Copies of this chain bind each other. A is one copy, B any other.
Amino acid sequence: MNAEIICVGTELLLGDVVNTNAVHIAKGLAAAGINVYYQSVVGDNPQRLKDSIRLAFKRSDLIVMTGGLGPTYDDLTKETVAEYFGRKMKLHQPSLDHLNEVFNKIYSGQYKKMTENNVKQAYMPRGAVVFDNKNGTAPGLAVTDGNKTAVLMPGPPREMVPMFDNQVLPYLSRDSKKVLVSKNIYIFGMGESAVEDMLHDYMLSMDNPTIAPYAKTGEVYLRVTASANDKEQAEEMLGPVVDKIQNLLGDYIYGIDVGNLETAVVRKLKEKNLTVATAESCTGGWVSKQITGVEGSSEVFGCGVCAYANETKIKVLGVKKDTLAHFGAVSFETASEMAAGIRKISGADIGISVTGIAGPGGGTEQKPVGLVYIGIDSKALTETLELTLSRGYQNERDHIRYTATLRALHSILRAANAF
C-alpha cells in the first residue's frame, strides 16, 4: 500500500511550528511496511485542501492527515474529506458525550463554555470509523471507499501521537494477523551517529525485529520492533536482540522502556532506598525541576538550592569564601564544596552540584562558555567532573544548561549504582 501524509495548517506553512507530526507518522508507517512517497503541507484553505486530497488520491491509496479538526470556521479537513467521498455529516453521539464531559470536568467554573462551534467536532462523515481523543476535544476518523482510505487526526502532537500509535496503526494493520511489539532502549553519553556507526551492519542485517534509532537533545534511544503472531512470540523474538544491543553498548544504556533519565533516576533511588539533594548554579533549578516532574519523587528528593549568587553559595551551602576567591564560582573546588554542602544541610544520601558558564556572555579564554563542573558527594562515590559542553547551533545558553542537567541526572544514576 502506498501512502501520503498531508499536514494541514497555516502555522506550518508560515514556519511557526516544526512539523514533528510528519516524522512520527512516517516512522510509524514505515515500521508497519507502508510506503510513503509524498508528504505535503497545505494551509487552511478549502480549495487548496480539496486539490491536495484529489491529487494525493490519484497517486496513493492511503492519505494520513493531521490538523484542521478544531472547532473554528477555518477548520475544514473533515468537511472537505466528506465532500470528496460524497458523504453527509452525521452527529456521533459518543463524541458529543466526550465533549460534554471534557468541558464539564476541565473547564467547570471557568470562563470557557462549550459553544455551538465545539459541537461541530462531534459530527462525522457517514460510515466513518471514529478514533476517540483522550487528550483533547477533536476525535480522529477514517473514511474508506473501495481501496481509498483517508485517516484524519488532530494537529497537536500530544493528541496526535497517542491516537496514531494506539488506534490508527492498529486500524491500518487490522487485516494483518500480526502484532507489533516494541522495546525502547535508552542511551546516554553516545551520539546518534556513533550509535548508528556501531550498529549499522547489525541494523541493516535485521529484518524482523527491526531496529531504529531516535535522537532527542543529548540522548538517543533505539526502538526494537518485532512483528509476530502474538505478544508472547514477539517478546521471545525481542529478547536476544535487546541482549545483543546491551552487550554492545554496555554502560551507555541507562534503561529499557524507562522513558527518560529523570524517571530512571527516581526509580533507581527508590529501588536502592536512597535520597538525593541538589545544589545548582548555572542550571538554575533545572535538575530539581526534572526530578520533581516524576510522580512520587518526594520519596527520594526533599531539598534543592539554586545558589546563583556567590553569597548564596556561602550562606546557604557553606562554600568557603576562600574557595570562591581563589578558584572562582566555576571551578572544581566550588563544585565539590557545593555538593558536600547540600548533602550536609539536607541529610540526603547523595549531594549533586552544577556550576558552569552557560553563556552567551561570561566566558574567558581560561574558562570558556560551556565549561561546567558537576560535583557528586556520597558515601559510595565522591567525585567532580569537568565538562566542556557543546554550544549547539542555536540558543547556546539553553543548550548548555539542558546538557548539563542531563549530565547531572546521569551522575545521580552513577552514584546510586555505586551503592
List 9 A–B pairs whose Cβ atoms lie within 8 Å, in order of A's numbering. A38-B41, A107-B390, A111-B194, A283-B292, A284-B288, A284-B304, A285-B285, A292-B306, A303-B306
Given contacts A22-B15, A38-B48, contact A305 B304 (CB under 8 A): yes
* Closest B residue, CB atoms, query A310: B302
Q: In the complex, which residues of chain B have a beta carbon less than 8 angstroms from the beta carbon of A308?
A: 288, 292, 297-298, 301-304
Which residues of A, 387-404, contact B by the 8 Å Cβ criterion? 388, 390-395, 397-398, 401
Does A112 have its Cβ within 8 Å of any Cβ on chain B?
yes
Task: Decide: B106 and A390 in contact? CB cutoff 8 A.
Answer: yes
Does A153 have its Cβ within 8 Å of any Cβ on chain B?
no
Which residues of A, 295-315, contact B by the 8 Å Cβ criterion? 295-298, 301-309, 311-312, 315
* Closest B residue, CB atoms, query A27: B15
Min CB–CB distance A198 → chain B (angstroms) = 12
Task: Decide: A292 and B285 in contact? CB cutoff 8 A.
Answer: yes
Most buried by B among A13, A214, A280, A392: A13
Min CB–CB distance A182 → chain B (angstroms) = 12
Q: How many copies does the complex hold?
A: 2
Task: Decide: A284 and B289 in contact? CB cutoff 8 A.
Answer: yes
Task: Decide: B112 and A191 in contact? CB cutoff 8 A.
Answer: yes
Task: Decide: B37 and A48 in contact? CB cutoff 8 A.
Answer: yes
Candidates B26, B55, B110; contact of A13 at CB < 8 Å: B26
Task: Decide: A23 and B15 in contact? CB cutoff 8 A.
Answer: yes
Given contacts A23-B17, A42-B37, contact A303 B309 (CB under 8 A): yes
Q: In the complex, which residues of chain B have a beta carbon less than 8 angstroms from the beta carbon of A13?
A: 26, 36-39
Does A18 have its Cβ within 8 Å of any Cβ on chain B?
yes
Min CB–CB distance A275 → chain B (angstroms) = 9
Given contacts A107-B390, A305-B305, contact A295 B159 (CB under 8 A): no
Which residues of A, 101-125, contact B by the 8 Å Cβ criterion? 106-107, 109-112
Q: Which 6 A-B pairs have the closest CB atoms?
A: A285-B285, A284-B292, A302-B309, A15-B26, A304-B306, A15-B27
* Closest B residue, CB atoms, query A278: B306
Does A20 have its Cβ within 8 Å of any Cβ on chain B?
yes
* Closest B residue, CB atoms, query A26: B15
Which residues of A, 254-303, contact B by the 8 Å Cβ criterion? 278, 280, 282-289, 291-293, 295-298, 301-303
Candidates B41, B162, B296, B397; contact of A293 at CB < 8 Å: B397
Q: In the complex, which residues of chain B have a beta carbon less than 8 angstroms from the beta carbon of A37?
A: 13, 42-43, 45, 48
Chain A, interface size: which category? 35 or more
Task: Decide: A391 and B288 in contact? CB cutoff 8 A.
Answer: no
Which residues of A, 1-54, contact B by the 8 Å Cβ criterion? 11-20, 22-30, 36-43, 45, 48, 52
Q: CA separation between A302 and B307, bound complex, in Å?
A: 6
Task: Decide: B23 and A20 in contact? CB cutoff 8 A.
Answer: no
Does A361 have its Cβ within 8 Å of any Cβ on chain B?
yes
Min CB–CB distance A345 → chain B (angstroms) = 7
Does A136 have its Cβ within 8 Å of any Cβ on chain B?
yes
Does A229 have its Cβ within 8 Å of any Cβ on chain B?
no
Q: CA separation between A397 and B291, bound complex, in Å?
A: 12
Given contacts A38-B41, A191-B112, A306-B278, contact A289 B292 (CB under 8 A): no
Candidates B289, B347, B392; contact of A286 at CB < 8 Å: B289
Given A14-B27, A15-B27, A302-B311, 14 other A-B residues pairs in contact with their CB atoms under 8 A: A13-B36, A14-B26, A106-B391, A111-B191, A112-B191, A135-B393, A158-B395, A283-B292, A284-B289, A285-B286, A292-B401, A301-B309, A303-B316, A304-B305
Given contacts A23-B15, A37-B42, contact A306 B288 (CB under 8 A): yes
Does A127 have its Cβ within 8 Å of any Cβ on chain B?
no
Q: CA separation between A307 and B280, bound complex, in Å?
A: 14
Q: CA separation between A401 and B302, bound complex, in Å?
A: 17
Q: CA separation between A29 and B45, bound complex, in Å?
A: 19
